Structures are given as structure tokens and as C-alpha cells.
Amino acid sequence: MISRRGRKLGISNRFAANAGSAGLLPLCFALLIIALAFQSANANFLTARNVSNLCLQLAAPGILTLGVMLVLLVGEIDLSIGAVSGLCASVLAVAHAHLGLSAAPSMAVALLVGLTIGLTQGAVVVFLRAPSFIITLSGLLVWMGAHHILLGEKIGELEIDDPTLRAIASAFLPSWLTGLLIVIPGAAALFHGVAAEPRFGLSAAKLRILGRAAVYLLTAAVAALVLEQHHGAPFLLVLLIALAVASTIVTEHTPLGVHILAIGGNAESARRAGVSVAGVRIAMFATCSTLAAVAGVVLASRQLAVDATTGGGSLTLDAIAAAVIGGTSLFGGRGRALGAILGSVLVASVENGLDLLGLSGDVKSVATGLMLFSAVCLDTLLQRRRGASV
């Protein structure tokens, strides 16, 4: 559905161009090359156990990547997501261990804290017209310090002993069920795409849609078969897929998605068309921080504890790198949830493969940095080409 405002600005055409998946083919090809290269270097890379472990490693960074993608789409950035995830993880642990709350209320409090942080930072950026880079960098320092203070120097670490909280990262579902959950939205998207094509018969556009659907279904089937050999599909994989589907629906199939892309493309034109630029930007910051809180819950469940390192390290930079590598523009107005997830898979695959080869964290940092550097250079060149063609 495209709103009148979108049609007035011609945003629907821009939206349709951004929604195309041709730009994802290089990512898929890169993932194939990486998988074959690491498999040839270490035969354990494509085993069911390592693929399952990769899904678990991917969950928290992938969720953060979806959040930062939404902020980048409106032409902003959030550098505090790692610190927010760590703080919300410590809020979860303290609420459970010290306040005696059960799993559901503890998670609700953590998500509420993340939402509040996002609303606050977004409001400061929008109403004070402050650079989001500086505001969220300041937030990184503030929330990191609050995270350490909340844990306390004497405590250092809080264990997660609640069975429900532990099950978030340790539960596995039958692969056939996961495959079904993947196929249903894929089939719905296929039907929508074919129905939206006005020409009768098998046109070239319909053939492209059917071809992409075939690749999608084949990939889902292979993944389900591989995961079935090791406990089944992790619940975290299902959670990540659900969040990616929700992000795709919002950004590609709703008027809000048109407004998000319009603001990232030209905020002044969007404002003149009646789009609530301030409201949408604040909403994206709030959603980003809420997703960071979800990632914090995942991290706490995976580590079975929360300490000063939770949410730290290169987590924030990895998420931003994955979003940019996945095709999300640093200049706003261009990006897809599927591309962000593929970028996250690529970054996680490289780090996982280097771990299997016994290489140090410094080598992983160099590899991630080079991938981000290449993606930023490509994004800049594409932005200049679009500017020259206007």
C-alpha cells in the first residue's frame, strides 16, 4: 500500500526500486565463496554442529543490525546499541536476582528501559537538532557506565538461573517446523509479487519472482536438513527470522516504510509532503534501542550470566558493518532487512571461520574492518552516481 503522500512525491517508484533484490546477488555470491573457502580450509565449517553454533552466534548481532538499519534508513546513526544491550541485560539480571521477578516481568522491564533510552536519544536528536553521532556516542559512555554501576564492582557477575531465561538460547525446535515458518512468509511474498504484476501469463517479471522463490525455498530446505542433524533449529534463529520478516513488512509494504525511505532520501521534501519527520525519526531510535534490549536478553541467555563485558567489544561496530555491507546506505533512504541479515551472516561467517582456523581476534577485526571499508567506498560511489544523475 502506498499513501497519497508517497504518490505525491513519486516515492512509490523510489520505494519499488529500493525493494528490489538484485543488489542482494553479490552478497549471496560472497557468502557462497566464503563458505567454500572456509570449508576447504577446515572441514568442520559446514557441519551441522558448526552451522547451529553459527546461528546462535548470529542472533544478538543480527538483531542489533536490524535496529541500526532502521536508524540508518532515516539518515541517522546510533553508536550506543552495544552499551544499551549490556545495560538492559544487567537490568534483566538485577530484576531477576535482586528483585525476585520472574522471567516475563524481568524481560518487560529490560525492554522498557531500552524503549525509554531510544525515545530519549531520539527526542534530543530531533528537537535539539543535535548530531546523532555525538548524542549516541555520549549515550554509549553513559549507558556503559550505568551498566557497570548497576552490576557493582563487588558483584562483577550475575548468573542467570531461571529455566525460562536459559531456554531462550538453549531451546531447539524441529527443523520441519522452522522450515514451515520460513516457507509461509516466503509463499505470501511470492503470491503478493505475482498478483501485483498486472500482465497476464509468464512475463519476465513473474519469471524473476518465481526464480527468486525457488532459490529461497531451496535454501530453506537445505538449512532445515542440515540443522536437523544437530538438535534441530535454534529458537534464536526463529526469533531473528520473525524480527526480519516484521522489519521487511514495515519498511517495504506499509505507508510508514515509504515515509522512512522518503525521510532518508530527502527530509525536507518529505516534510513538505506532510510526513511527520520528527515522529518517524524518534520512532526509529526507539525501535532500535528496543531491539538492542532484545539483543541484551539474548546475550544474557547465551552467557548464562551478565558481566561487565556483556554488550561490549566490537558488537556495535559489527552491527553497523553488517548493515552497510548488506546494502543499507549511510546517507539514508536505501536498505532492506534481508540485506542487513545477509550482511550479518557474512560478518558472523568470517569471524566463525577465522575462529575455526585458530586465528586471533586482531585478524577478525582486520577482516571486518576491510569489509566495512569496501562497503562504505561502494556506498559513497553509488551515492555520487545518483547525485550526478539527478
Dist. CA 370–CA 380, nearest whole Å: 15
Average pLDDT over residues 67-88: 95
Q: Do 67 and 131 contact (CB within 8 A), yes or no? A: no
**CA distance between the termini of the chain:** 26
Question: Residue 242 has which C-alpha cell?
Answer: 520473525
| pTM (2 d.p.) | 0.86
3-state secondary structure of 106: helix
User: Can you spell out the DSSP letters for 116-127?
Assistant: HHHHHHHHHHHH
User: Can you spell out the DSSP letters for 60-83?
Assistant: HHHHHHHHHHHHHHTT---S-HHH
Question: Residue 7 has which C-alpha cell?
Answer: 504518490
Task: Identify which has the larger pLDDT, 217 or 226.
Answer: 226
Going by C-beta distance under 8 Å and a sequence separation of 6 or more, which residues neighbour residue 372? 317, 320, 321, 324, 325
Dist. CA 231–CA 239, nearest whole Å: 17
Task: Count Cβ neighbours within 10 Å for each residue of 308-320 and write b for 16 or more, e otherwise.
Answer: bebbeebbbbbbb
Q: What is the pLDDT of residue 16?
A: 39
Question: Residue 102 has which C-alpha cell?
Answer: 520472574
Task: Identify which has the larger pLDDT, 103 or 361.
Answer: 103
Range with the lowest mean pLDDT among 190-204, 229-243, 281-295, 301-315?
Answer: 190-204
Radius of gyration of the chain (CA): 21
Asked whether the predicted pLDDT for residue 20 surpasses 90, the reply is no
Domains of the chain: 4-174+232-383 (1.10.3470)
Q: For every residue of 349-384, which 3-state class applies, written as one string?
A: HHHHHHHHCCCCHHHHHHHHHHHHHHHHHHHHHHHH
Average pLDDT over residues 8-15: 46
Query: For 259-289, what is each residue's pLDDT tens digit?
Result: 999 999 889 899 999 999 999 999 999 999 9
Question: Residue 146 has which C-alpha cell?
Answer: 550505568
Asked whether the predicted pLDDT for residue 146 surpasses 70, the reply is yes
Dist. CA 29–CA 262, nearest whole Å: 30
Query: For 114-140, what is each residue's pLDDT tens digit?
Result: 999 999 999 999 999 999 999 999 999
Q: What is the pLDDT of residue 152?
A: 79
Q: What is the pLDDT of residue 232?
A: 78
Q: What is the pLDDT of residue 97?
A: 85
Confidence of residue 1 (pLDDT cuts 50, 70, 90): very low
